[in-house]
Structure 1
């Protein structure tokens, strides 16, 4: 009886055990029978794949998501291997599998290397899935922003892939010294050629971990003030209140003073108003506070307050301090407008004067002559030749 043989570490392995040639001779000796058996094999493979989904669901319910995924992958690999072998038996081409086995399997150490490689790839895949899902859960709980989750995806995937590649190369006996030296040289060349880009990228990672602001926050940086629309590794996009879109490099942000006006969910708005020097300051302060209490655009806690700020040229300058919640530029404008209107109306009602700028001029000593009040100096005579 002729049987296809392959060797694993010098041990012959038959690819057609005794029942297989008999089945081929009895049932698979015509093209019609082979075609029917192929159709039946395809149906079995489809049913097996569906069974794999049910197996995954059961394992997930009993042992968790990751065990379920491992079970499904193992089942899928088994179905594919069995299907390929069955197809080779149906069409009597098992010699082709013998060629593949002889090319792939050489000795026991090679088999171990192959198995370790497959295991490392599988573990890396599962680890990437686990890390990505953990990042998704953190994003759902608002622990990380969308930008941070995207960066974390790429960093985690690249890091796991590099670690898996290093292990696989080590298993296959590849010397990593030259690879690391070459990578270091390439990194140095790229670093010299793109210093600003690398600085912006490193600053992007700093912003990722320090989290001074999020998308939607109102920030002030250098000469720009607006809402953060997007944050990438290299720059931050800000929409100003003039409807301008400004791209600020991340290294500029980390090197400059940054003000996040949305961080505390409230903002103090300061409004100055002057009163006449003859006005009772305490009464004016009380009237101003009562005027803004109860305004919808202003928070009731902390309480509004008025302080005497300084002596101005034409008035005593008071400063009203009120708070707004969930600060935006529109809410600040509304609060400022409502407060000014309310104070103006209350001062008019109480007879408190908001003075115009004015200046008093007075002479010192004997003063100076004015037309009609004294002799005018005559211009010097000019002699004619």
Structure 2
């Protein structure tokens, strides 16, 4: 009975061996897939892991650089304020300095990431050419803004005439100069036009001279008319008495003797005095019996001969 026991016990051992074979095959397959995936991920992330220290350092440098740019701009602003620089020029220069600092910081960060400088320079040069072609008018206005701000033919608050537009300068921006006309209309004149055209600044000087022409009849007394006009100037609160007002004979026109009145005034009171004198001189002439003649034409008709008329 001992022998059959041995024979009977051998059969289950063989069955167990057969049942573990598929499990082992699945395990081997899974192991192979895992190794393959690990190899792929390793090839993908190995360069990233190798460059991670540079990336972290570049990120830290970027944060420090942004902080330094902010501090530099604060120092520049305080320096401009201590130098009593014009507000518009100060704002313009600070904008340009900030842009330049950001470009420098961007280039340094790219160099820390081992980006070839030749590529950076090529990209910046290509971008510069593309931007120059696309924004040539804006670049002209930008250059005009530099010229206007540094040569200072005008400033905020001045009353100017530019390319036919008359008004008060409200602001000089990077690309445009904003002018407010007497009827409170905002006109934006490109800085390229401002720099390339004649600029008439009416308030650049503290004083201006009002020149007005008045015609009197040939029968009127010139000295009397001159005295009346000077008395009007003495009563005008805006008129300056130093230099003293003057009246000259300007022309002998067809219908009148033209008198030129010259009166000095502070620049901000120019138009107030201009309109006051036009009205007050007319009233004074009427009160003094001095006429302002209309244009006249004498027509002479020759006498018609009676014999010719009978024909």
Query: Whose helix proportion is higher, 1 or 2?
Result: 2
Gaps of 5+ in 2: 1-51
RMSD over aligned CA atoms reads 3.2
TM-score (ref. length: structure 2):
0.70
3-state DSSP of counterpart to 2:180: strand
Structure 2 residue 74 is the aligned partner of structure 1 residue 129: yes
Deviations 1:323-363 (A, max 9, x none): 33242xxx444312322333234334444332222122235
| Counterpart among 265, 268, 271 of residue 206 in structure 2 | 265
Structure 2 counterpart of 1:237: 178
Structure 2 counterpart of 1:284: 225
Structure 2 counterpart of 1:144: 86
Structure 2 counterpart of 1:201: 142
How much does 1:314 deviate?
A: 0.7
Q: Distance in 2 between the 1:374 and 1:254 partners? A: 75
Written as runs of structure 1 = structure 2, the 5 A alignment for 1:1-385 is 104=53, 124-138=69-83, 141=84, 143-145=85-87, 147-166=88-107, 175-327=116-268, 331-362=269-300, 367=302, 369=304, 375-376=308-309
| Contact 2:247–2:261 (Cα < 8 Å) also in 1 | yes
| Contact 1:273–1:319 (Cα < 8 Å) also in 2 | yes
Gaps of 5+ in 1: 1-102, 379-385
TM-score (ref. length: structure 1):
0.58
CA shift in 2, pair 1:167/1:312, >3 Å: same
Q: Distance in 2 between the 1:182 and 1:114 partners? A: 22
Structure 2 counterpart of 1:19: none
How much does 1:118 deviate?
A: 8.6
Q: Distance in 2 between the 1:228 and 1:176 partners? A: 45
How much does 1:120 deviate?
A: 6.7
3-state DSSP of counterpart to 1:293: helix
Q: Distance in 2 between the 1:253 and 1:377 partners? A: 74
**Greater relative CO, 1 or 2 (CA 8 Å, sep 6+):** 2
CA shift in 2, pair 1:126/1:318, >3 Å: same
| Contact 2:213–2:261 (Cα < 8 Å) also in 1 | yes
Deviations 1:267-321 (A, max 9, x none): 2222111122233434432331222113112223332221211111111101112
| Contact 1:315–1:355 (Cα < 8 Å) also in 2 | yes
How much does 1:124 deviate?
A: 4.7
| Contact 1:309–1:317 (Cα < 8 Å) also in 2 | yes
Aligned pairs, how many? Answer: 259
Q: Distance in 1 between the 2:105 and 2:132 partners? A: 26
